[in-house]
A and B are shown apart, each in its own frame.
Chain A
Amino acid sequence: MSNRCDLEEISTNDTLQQQSTDEFIKHILTLLTSVTVSENLDTDLWLNNNPDAKKLYDYIISLRELTTALAKGDLKKTVPGKGYILANLKALQANLLHLTWQSKMVANGDFSQRVDFLGEFSDAFNEMALKLQNSNMQLVKMATTDTLTQIPNRLALAQFLSAAFKKSVEQDTPFSIIIFDIDNFKRVNDTYGHDIGDKVLVKISEILNSQFRSNDIFSRYGGEEFMAALPGISQENCFKIAKRAISLVSKTKIPANADEHISITVSAGVSSRISKDITYENIIKRSDNALYKAKTSGKNKVCISSKK
Chain B
Amino acid sequence: MRKYQFYKELVGDIKLGRPNLEVSIDLEMYRVMQFTLRDILEQKVGSEEADKIFYDAGKLAGNYFYEMYINPVSSVEEFVGKTQKALRDKKIGILRVEEADLENGKVILTVDEDLDCSGLPELDYETCIYDEGFIAALFGNFSGQEWKAKEIDCWCTGARTCRFLVTKI
Contacts and interface: CB of A to CB of B under 8 A. Distances in A.
A94 B158 contact: no
B63 interface: no
B97 A82 contact: no
Given A101-B97, A101-B98, A101-B99, A110 B157 contact: no
Contact of B100 (A88, A101, A112): A101
B98 A88 contact: no
Interface string B74-116: 0001000100000000000000111110000000101010000
A84 to B, nearest CB: 7
Interface string A86-101: 1110110011011001
A105 interface: yes
B148 interface: no
B148 to A, nearest CB: 20
A101 B99 CA distance: 7
A246 B40 CA distance: 79
B127 interface: no
A110 B77 contact: yes
Given A90-B153, A110-B77, A112-B81, A98 B158 contact: no
B98 A90 contact: no
A97 B163 CA distance: 12
B153 A98 contact: no
A105 B77 contact: yes
Interface string A106-129: 001010100001000000000000
Nearest to B154: A82
Contact of B110 (A88, A94, A108, A110): A94
A181 B34 CA distance: 71
A81 to B, nearest CB: 8
Contacts of B100: 101
Nearest to A81: B158
B158 to A, nearest CB: 3
- A interface, over-half SS: helix
B159 interface: yes
B127 to A, nearest CB: 13
A88 B122 CA distance: 15
Contacts of B112: 117
A83 interface: yes
Interface residues on B, range: 10 to 19
Contacts of B77: 105, 108, 110
Interface in B131-169: 153, 157-161, 163
Nearest to A96: B98
Interface residues on A, range: 10 to 19
Contacts of B163: 94
Given A108-B77, A110-B77, A91 B159 contact: yes
Interface string A121-152: 00000000000000000000000000000000
Given A108-B77, A110-B77, A98 B98 contact: yes
Given A98-B98, A105-B77, A87 B160 contact: yes
B144 to A, nearest CB: 22
Contact of B158 (A83, A95, A108, A117): A83
Contacts of B81: 110, 112
Nearest to A84: B158
A91 B161 contact: yes
A214 to B, nearest CB: 24
B152 to A, nearest CB: 9
Q: Which 10 pairs of residues, A with B, have the shortest CB-CB distance?
A: A82-B158, A98-B96, A97-B98, A91-B160, A83-B158, A94-B110, A87-B160, A101-B97, A87-B159, A82-B157
10 contacts: A82-B157, A83-B122, A88-B160, A90-B159, A94-B110, A94-B163, A97-B99, A98-B98, A101-B100, A112-B81
Interface of A: 82-84, 86-88, 90-91, 94-95, 97-98, 101, 105, 108, 110, 112, 117
Given A90-B153, A101-B96, 16 more contacts: A82-B122, A82-B158, A83-B122, A83-B158, A87-B158, A87-B160, A91-B159, A91-B161, A97-B96, A97-B98, A97-B108, A98-B96, A98-B97, A98-B98, A101-B97, A110-B81
